[in-house]
Amino acid sequence: MIDPLSELAIRHGTDKFGLHDYTPRYHQLFAPLRDRPIRLLEIGVGGYQDADRGGQSLAMWRDYFPQGQITGIDIQTKALALGPRVAVLRGSQIDADFLAEVVATRGPFDIIIDDGSHRNEHVVESYGLLFPTMAAGGLYVAEDVQTAFFPRFGGSLDLEAPNSVGYFAEIAARLGQDADPLVADVACVTRFHNMIALHKVARIPDATRTVVADITPAALAEAFAALAEGESLRIAGRPEGALAADIRARFIAVDHREIAVHFPRATLHGQARDLCRIDLMADGVVLTRGANDYPSNFAFDATQPQAAAALAQMEAVLRETGEEGGFVHYAGILTAQYGREAARDWIDRLTAMEARARLYFQLAIGLAQRDKDGAQVQALARRALSIYPADAGFTLSLATALLAADGGAEARALVEAALASTPRDMNLLLLLSRIASQAGEADSAILHARRAVEVSAAQRRAKPLTRLGELLAKQGAHDEALRLLREAAALPGQFAPRSLRALSAVLKTQGDIPAAVAAAEKAVALAPDTREFQNWLNALRG
């Protein structure tokens, strides 16, 4: 049976269930507090730069704690109506003055959850600023601590400071021995996959077996292996020496699925897959046995048994009940995992309920494009733009559909208007180039394509370079076209086969058939399923 917090997560559509396995763990931690008038602070409301997006987890907490006062903070402005028990404030998780104000007006907090930037230095700093202000018995949870291992977030496998997992492992190792309030006020550190909770009062699972702290790591491994699923083992006393090192290795390896994303050859503790929870206290450690193999959201695998079970639970809950946020979130996961067709029923359901979420429109437009239903794309994009007038993506969808239906003039007006507010949007510039080309305005088409190259980020440059190369080739500027297409074809990424195909065509017009064949062969090798490339290669060879 599904726990009540996970059910709320599914209904409201937060990724704390499904893409992550957090809510069953949160329920273990928070169930005893559920009916109390707790004050909860969550760092990170969600939705990033879009003021109208986010708030799913705040709605979940609001409904899970019926007496609770819920506060969300985000560095971005948010305009969300979540009812009188929820406040959303704007500010950064490392702004000491802002946090002091939040604590003074909405705290002291019984629960704090850090689901903000996930940058290691921020995670450590926010803990330092907020933990000392918490109410007696408070619980502080850092979520997504797998970024401790991700270079992009300032993480590393050797846990160089500042590093969230390294920092909290250090706190755990010093419990009872350090007067620093960041350590002294911690009764217990709990470790789950991707999460670390610090408790001012220990709430730990009952142990089925106890061993003493002079046990060897090998004997501990044997005792742990003898546990049944869900059972816990208590190490009485403080681990020292080799046993302390073994516990630290376990503390790190709980995130083995995440570590494998960046360090596939890392050697980790051998029992990580069966260790679902570690509780560390000054006078002992509790290890809980249970499946710990949930996929990383950075490499989500819907066929992994726990993930597949979670998706089946989402389906079952949403068949019974749910809200727009829940349906959209689930449709998004289905689309990402199984393709657009898999989400059709849910998108139809959202259409019937006149959904308004950005993601709904993105998914519904994608499906209509797949159906080659231009009229439906236009209808959806027009409605989306009436709600989100500044959205460049919806403008692109509408203008592209109009262009395909001989509505070039309206498409041009739309794109030009959108470019007036976002003049550096590469895709809008490319579409304007296409509109000009279709209207026979070759110079103008080249001008806009050049501008698209100028504004493009390095990792997205292959597309505008290819477009510009094709236009120049059409105008007979073969040398420049070849140079640009060679540059585009050499860039890594999904667009390389298209660039090679375009390069091959120009080489053919130059009469260099062997080079044209070689480029076409490379395109086919990179995209063997694209029939057009194979046909082109066959024609060249024939």
Out of 3, 4, 31, 76, the only residue in the binding site for ligand SAM (CB under 6 A) is 76
Choices 113-121, 147-155, 272-280, 335-343 (CB under 6 A): range interacting with ligand SAM: 113-121
| Type and span of the H or E element at 384 | helix 374-387
Shortest distance (Å) from residue 297 CB to ligand SAM: 10
CA torsion sign for 247, 251, 256, 260 is: negative
Q: For residue 504, state whether it binds ligand SAM (rule: CB under 6 A).
A: no
Query: Could you give the CA distance from residue 247 to residue 472 in angstroms, rounded to a whole number?
Result: 63
Nearer to ligand SAM, 328 or 446 (CB): 328
Catalytic residue among 12, 20, 27, 118: 118
Q: For residue 162, state whether it binds ligand SAM (rule: CB under 6 A).
A: no
SS3 197: strand
* # binding residues, ligand SAM (CB under 6 A): 23
**How many other C-beta atoms are found inside a 10 Å radius of the C-beta of residue 280?**
27
SS3 221: helix
Starting at the edge strand found earlier in the chain, the sheet holding 86-90 runs 86-90, 69-74, 39-43, 111-114, 139-143, 195-199, 188-192, 275-281, 284-289, 232-236, 209-212
* Angle made by CA atoms 122, 127, 132, in degrees to the nearest 5: 150
Draw the binding track, 192-231, toward ligand SAM (x: CB under 6 A; -: no contact).
----------------------------------------
Within 83-112, which residues bind ligand SAM (CB under 6 A)?
92-94
Residue recorded with tokens 């640009």: 484
Q: For residue 21, state whether it binds ligand SAM (rule: CB under 6 A).
A: no
Query: Could you give the CA distance from residue 1 to residue 10 in angstroms, rounded to a whole number?
Result: 14
Shortest distance (Å) from residue 282 CB to ligand SAM: 31
Burial of 156 (0-12, 13-18, 19+ CB in 10 A): middle
Nearer to ligand SAM, 83 or 339 (CB): 83
Q: For residue 378, state whether it binds ligand SAM (rule: CB under 6 A).
A: no
* Angle made by CA atoms 9, 1, 343, in degrees to the nearest 5: 50
Nearer to ligand SAM, 44 or 107 (CB): 44
Nearer to ligand SAM, 42 or 110 (CB): 42
Q: Are 426 and 460 in contact (CB under 8 A)?
A: yes
Shortest distance (Å) from residue 72 CB to ligand SAM: 7
Query: Could you give the CA distance from residue 49 to residue 370 in angstroms, rounded to a whole number?
Result: 28
Query: Could you give the CA distance from residue 469 to residue 480 in angstroms, rounded to a whole number?
Result: 7
Shortest distance (Å) from residue 262 CB to ligand SAM: 19
Shortest distance (Å) from residue 450 CB to ligand SAM: 34
Q: For residue 24, state whether it binds ligand SAM (rule: CB under 6 A).
A: no
Query: Could you give the CA distance from residue 199 to residue 214 in angstroms, rounded to a whole number?
Result: 26
Choices 71-79, 132-140, 181-189, 492-500 (CB under 6 A): range interacting with ligand SAM: 71-79
User: What letter represents residue 60's amino acid?
Assistant: M
User: By C-alpha distance, which of 158, 162, 147, 88 is closest to 117?
Assistant: 147
Choices 70-78, 170-178, 207-215, 489-497 (CB under 6 A): range interacting with ligand SAM: 70-78
Within 25-64, which residues bind ligand SAM (CB under 6 A)?
42-48, 54, 56-57
Q: For residue 125, state whether it binds ligand SAM (rule: CB under 6 A).
A: no
Out of 116, 154, 239, 497, the only residue in the binding site for ligand SAM (CB under 6 A) is 116
* Half-sphere exposure at residue 278, Cβ-oriented, CA atoms within 13 angstroms: 31
Choices 72-80, 287-295, 353-361, 423-431 (CB under 6 A): range interacting with ligand SAM: 72-80
Choices 69-77, 163-171, 463-471, 518-526 (CB under 6 A): range interacting with ligand SAM: 69-77
Shortest distance (Å) from residue 336 CB to ligand SAM: 16
Nearer to ligand SAM, 97 or 529 (CB): 97
Out of 38, 70, 73, 507, the only residue in the binding site for ligand SAM (CB under 6 A) is 73
Query: Could you give the CA distance from residue 415 to residue 445 in angstroms, rounded to a whole number?
Result: 14
SS3 11: helix
Q: Are 250 and 269 in contact (CB under 8 A)?
A: yes
Q: For residue 14, state whether it binds ligand SAM (rule: CB under 6 A).
A: yes
Q: Respond yes or no: is residue 329 known to be catalytic.
A: no
Out of 63, 74, 246, 470, the only residue in the binding site for ligand SAM (CB under 6 A) is 74
Nearer to ligand SAM, 147 or 466 (CB): 147
Q: What residues act catalytically?
A: 118
Chain residues in the site for ligand SAM (CB under 6 A): 14, 16, 42-48, 54, 56-57, 73-76, 92-94, 115-117, 122
